Amino acid sequence: TQLLEQSPQFLSIQEGENLTVYCNSSSVFSSLQWYRQEPGEGPVLLVTVVTGGEVKKLKRLTFQFGDARKDSSLHITAAQPGDTGLYLCAGEANSGYALNFGKGTSLLVTP
Amino acid sequence: DTGVSQDPRHKITKRGQNVTFRCDPISEHNRLYWYRQTLGQGPEFLTYFQNEAQLEKSRLLSDRFSAERPKGSFSTLEIQRTEQGDSAMYLCASSSVTGLSSYEQYFGPGTRLTVT
């Protein structure tokens, strides 16, 4: 099992603030996916990064895959209460196989 | 809605009973995955199928667990002689091995199992 460490574990901020969450591993992944999960629901795919150094933007969310494909970050600009949720990163050693998940970062954005 | 569906959404059972969950993947997806998620943890891989063939099983999948995908479409996950430690959210995901997005897994809403 290739371990993914996410930090911080919990984050509570006010609306309008910026934040970055991190996903680190000592292993190389062929791809890395970010999901957002709400209580009692399944994870919802936000983005997939494949190429080392890749940066993808999804509205106010910016995702980066490390050059060595071992780590990733998620930056949220001007957070909104609707961004509240559990953010999970998941790495795939080989395409189409099992995902290894981190424990997630629980984000709370208050008005 | 053509997403992944799971049934039931919630299941409460007594210790020692058998339970079965169903997952219907996205129709054109040929890979189907089962994961288990406990409180405060990310999902943990249990098993996956390509079409009807079960290709990989995690060590988490004890002999009380069995999964099937008889016609390469929907899948069932059965837990026999449930234990309180089986209480968790059971998640199903599907993906397609063809095309550029073969690594993207799409999850269903999950089945929350509570063993009393």
Please state, in angstroms and as integers, the Cα–Cα distance from residue B12 to each residue in A17, A74, B115, following that order: 41, 36, 6
pLDDT in tens, A6-24: 999 999 999 999 999 999 9
Question: Quick one: what percent of chain A has pLDDT higher than 90?
Answer: 86
Selection from A44, A13, A51 nearest residue A30 by Cα: A51
pLDDT in tens, B18-32: 999 999 999 988 899
Q: Does B28 touch chain A (CB under 8 A)?
A: no
**Listed range (A1-5, A80-84, B97-101) with the worst mean pLDDT:** B97-101
**Given a cut of 60, is residue A88 above it in pLDDT?**
yes
DSSP state of A52: T
Contact of B106 with A45, CB cutoff 8 Å: yes
Chain A residues in contact with B35 by the CB 8 A cut-off are 99
Interface-testing mutation among B24, B95, B105, B114, with chain A (most A C-beta atoms within 10 A): B105
